[in-house]
Amino acid sequence: QVQLVESGGGSVQAGGSLRLSCAEASGLIYSRIYMGWFRQAPGKEREGVAVIRTTDGSQYYDNSVKGRFTISQDNAKNLVYLQMNSLKPEDTAMYYCAAATDWVTQPWAGHEYRYWGQGTQVTVSA
């Protein structure tokens, strides 16, 4: 069974930084094409934060995080990172890692992703 495991969440003050990691624990995703970070705050819909196309490193960012968040990958280790700088209280959410193994037309949309992690909580205080 495919497993994605997130880590690195926590509580920080506004302006602080966190780095989230996503590990593909089962070793079965040989053909993942997109790796994405999504988040969901209480009472809000899930939204795409950052996506990387593993084949060429192309990246997508939601406007709310552009210039503050950076997604990166270590293919040798099957790891994907989300470096989050200049965090704001509105970044508070559960953050999920997801993998898509097909070519998709909307890589920023959660429904395009087959595999999901359990999430890691990020809390930013004012």
- C-alpha neighbours within 13 Å on the C-beta side of residue 52: 20
pLDDT at 28: 62
Burial of residue 34 (CB within 10 Å: 0-12, 13-18, 19+) is buried
pLDDT tens-place string over residues 7-66: 999 999 999 999 999 998 776 666 788 999 999 999 999 999 999 998 899 999 999 999
Other C-beta atoms closer than 10 Å to the C-beta of 98 total 23
pLDDT tens-place string over residues 86-101: 999 999 999 999 999 8
CB 108 within 8 A of CB 62: yes
